């Protein structure tokens, strides 16, 4: 059964409508890729799920509870962990302080997050500002995990990172999939890596869902049509 159930949502920025009907589900243990070219509505969909943008119509339900009018901090408390685009951390706090500031009780602690990303333990006393881009991304994922979410949302987590660091991030996502019951929703442009880790994909185009299905049903024809440049 799905943990997150988004049905036909619409949303606007002021007078400009950005979503015209997006639906998706994510079940525990499942990785779902939300795909589409630039500016098609992926981040907007995530903002709606995390309650940072009002939903005009349609329904967002999490574990059977309708979130449409819930404030974002309540959605986070329910178990939605967001790794936002741009890997926001507290620049002046140390790695350990960043992680501990996000902590809620559960499996994910400083030690278990360090097991996933050993570099965070090595850098525990350094300020977040002094980390490399890849390390900051690990810290952003670690912060989201420290809230002990049931749904983890990764928005462009590998963007702008060196190939070797991207591989580390993907390896961590694969481990989360294999070793936990987290539901994972991922927005990323790395088609090859998404093919390896995601179970299903949802494609949006100009704010509308145009395709959804199993990852292995996503043919080259479809990627050319909806994701090609």
186 near ligand ATP (CB under 6 A): no
Which residues, at least 6 apart from 107, have a Cβ–Cβ distance to it below 8 Å?
148, 180
Report strand pairing: 183-187 vs 4-13.
Answer: unpaired
Q: How far is the CB of 189 from ligand ATP (least distance, A)?
A: 7
Complex with ligand ATP: residue 35 or 144, whichever CB lies closer = 35
Complex with ligand ATP: residue 120 or 140, whichever CB lies closer = 140
Beta bridge partners of 24: 6
Q: How far is the CB of 43 from ligand ATP (least distance, A)?
A: 3
Binding segment for ligand ATP (CB under 6 A), chosen from 12-20, 24-32, 123-131, 134-142, is 12-20
Complex with ligand ATP: residue 13 or 92, whichever CB lies closer = 13
Among 3, 25, 33, 44, binds ligand ATP (CB under 6 A): 44
Are residues 195 and 215 in contact, defined by beta-carbon separation less than 8 angstroms? yes
Binding segment for ligand ATP (CB under 6 A), chosen from 10-18, 89-97, 139-147, 172-180, is 10-18
Complex with ligand ATP: residue 29 or 58, whichever CB lies closer = 58
User: 19: closest CA among 186, 205, 200?
Assistant: 205
Per the listing, tokens 């927005």 go with: 187
Report strand pairing: 151-155 vs 57-62.
Answer: unpaired
User: 130: closest CA among 139, 118, 141?
Assistant: 139
Are residues 157 and 172 in contact, defined by beta-carbon separation less than 8 angstroms? no
By CB under 6 A, the residues from 13 to 42 that bind ligand ATP are 13, 16, 18, 36, 38-42
Complex with ligand ATP: residue 53 or 218, whichever CB lies closer = 53
Q: How far is the CB of 71 from ligand ATP (least distance, A)?
A: 19
Per the listing, tokens 């995601």 go with: 198
**16 φ/ψ sector (left φ>0, alpha ψ -120 to 50, else beta):** beta
Complex with ligand ATP: residue 43 or 209, whichever CB lies closer = 43
Q: Cα angle vertex 152, ends 84, 70, to 5°? A: 80
How many of the chain's residues bind ligand ATP (CB under 6 A)?
Answer: 11
Residues that bind ligand ATP (CB under 6 A): 13, 16, 18, 36, 38-44
């Amino acid at each position: 059964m799905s943990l997150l159930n988004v049905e036909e949502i619409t949303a606007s920025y002021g007078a400009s409508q950005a979503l015209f009907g997006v639906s998706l589900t994510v079940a525990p243990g499942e990785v779902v890729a939300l795909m589409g070219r630039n500016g098609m509505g992926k981040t907007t969909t995530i903002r709606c799920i995390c309650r940072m943008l009002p939903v005009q119509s349609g329904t967002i339900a999490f574990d059977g509870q309708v979130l449409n009018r819930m404030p974002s901090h309540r959605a986070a408390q329910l178990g939605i962990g967001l790794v936002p685009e741009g890997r926001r951390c507290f620049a002046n706090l140390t790695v350990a302080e960043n992680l501990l500031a996000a902590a809620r009780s559960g499996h994910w602690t400083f030690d278990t997050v360090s097991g996933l990303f050993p570099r965070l333990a090595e850098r525990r006393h350094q300020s977040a500002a002094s980390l490399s881009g890849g390390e900051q991304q690990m810290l952003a994922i670690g912060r989201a995990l420290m809230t002990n979410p049931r749904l983890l949302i990764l928005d462009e987590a590998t963007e702008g990172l060196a190939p070797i660091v991207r591989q580390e991030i993907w390896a961590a996502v694969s481990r989360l999939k294999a070793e936990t019951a987290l539901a994972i929703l991922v927005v990323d442009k790395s088609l090859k890596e998404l093919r390896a880790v995601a179970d299903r994909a949802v494609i949006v185009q100009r704010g509308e869902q145009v395709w959804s299905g199993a990852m292995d049903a996503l043919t080259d024809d479809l990627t050319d049509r909806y994701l090609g440049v």
